[in-house]
């Protein structure tokens, strides 16, 4: 009788342990559980919070940024262009002024470019890393080339294709093959290059960092030395 009871106890414990093992969620050994959104496996450092996917600002720490991405629809391509016009660095009018210049040019295209645009530009306190929506889909220039597969690719230091084209799809490469200078004040990770933003694009007295619109290396956004803020250069514009 005692032997029978012992066997029953062992069987019951085995069933209980199996149930616990089945109920326990599988964990990603390198971090939080991976998410699957519309059939796409999202890296572990993306975190689902209150029904939204938040992109981390520091992959090493897996901390979500302040910019949420909705899970309600698949990631969509975002258009990127270089302004056809050039601007005096000290007279851009800060980030808000640069954003307005981008949206004005986007609206001039017939038909106009859809969406709202922000300039890839930083002042001395913030830059695209905190002012942009971090797209999970590709960034595409107006020629149809994918310049980055997503926000992580965009801020990896190297892009896939040069931005190169303006709001109407025209190639801005000068006939002489010279550079396409673009005001940015921004490093390859989307952060400000503090002290090199033409006093946040409002005055002379310091210089401003430019990027080169015809390259894919980190020089696309940060090509030292900084330029005199009385000079003229283009802007990068990103659909949000």
Spell out the residues 6+ positions from residue 229 whose beta carbon is closer than 8 angstroms to its own: 88, 89, 90, 198, 199, 203, 204, 205, 206, 207, 208
What is the distance between the alpha carbons of residues 118 and 100, in angstroms, rounded to a whole number?
Answer: 8
Q: What's the pLDDT score for residue 49?
A: 44
Residues of the chain with pLDDT under 50: 1-44, 46-71
Give the closest residue to 235 by CA, choosing from 126, 128, 127, 85: 85
Q: What's the pLDDT score for residue 30?
A: 42
Q: What's the pLDDT score for residue 34?
A: 44
What is the distance between the alpha carbons of residues 238 and 133, in angstroms, rounded to a whole number?
Answer: 10
pTM, rounded to two decimals: 0.72
What digits encode the pLDDT tens for the residues 166-223? 999 999 999 888 899 999 999 999 999 999 999 999 999 999 999 999 999 999 999 9
Q: What's the pLDDT score for residue 73?
A: 62
Taking the domains of the chain in order of start, what are their residue ranges? 32-72, 78-239
Q: What's the pLDDT score for residue 68?
A: 42
How many of the other CB atoms lie within 10 Å of CB of 187?
19
What is the distance between the alpha carbons of residues 196 and 199, in angstroms, rounded to a whole number?
Answer: 7
Q: What's the pLDDT score for residue 107?
A: 95
Q: Evaluate whether 213 touches 180 at the Cβ level (below 8 Å).
A: yes
Q: What is the CA radius of gyration of the chain?
A: 24
Q: Evaluate whether 133 touches 154 at the Cβ level (below 8 Å).
A: no
Q: Report the CATH superfamily, name and number, of domain 78-239.
A: Mannose-Binding Protein A, subunit A (3.10.100.10)
């Amino acid at each position: 009788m005692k032997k029978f009871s012992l066997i029953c106890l062992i069987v019951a414990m085995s069933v209980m342990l199996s149930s616990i093992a089945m109920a326990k969620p599988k964990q990603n050994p390198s971090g939080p559980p991976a998410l699957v959104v519309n059939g796409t496996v999202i890296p572990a450092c993306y975190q689902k919070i209150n029904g939204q996917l938040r992109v981390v600002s520091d992959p090493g720490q897996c901390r979500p940024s302040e910019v949420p991405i909705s899970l309600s629809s698949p990631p969509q391509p975002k258009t990127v262009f270089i302004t056809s016009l050039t601007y005096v660095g000290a007279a851009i009018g800060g980030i808000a002024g640069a954003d307005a210049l981008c949206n004005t040019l986007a609206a001039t295209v017939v038909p106009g470019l859809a969406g709202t645009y922000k300039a890839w530009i930083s002042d001395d306190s913030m830059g695209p890393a905190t002012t942009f929506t971090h797209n999970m889909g590709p960034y595409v220039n107006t020629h149809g080339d994918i310049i980055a597969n997503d926000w992580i690719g965009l801020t990896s230091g190297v892009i896939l294709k040069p931005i190169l084209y303006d709001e109407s799809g025209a190639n801005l490469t000068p006939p002489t093959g010279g550079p396409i200078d673009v005001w940015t004040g921004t490093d390859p990770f989307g952060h400000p290059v503090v002290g090199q933003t033409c006093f946040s694009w409002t005055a002379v007295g310091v210089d401003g960092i430019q990027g080169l619109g015809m390259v894919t290396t980190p020089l696309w956004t940060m090509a030292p030395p900084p330029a005199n803020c009385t000079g003229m250069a283009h802007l990068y514009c990103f659909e949000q």
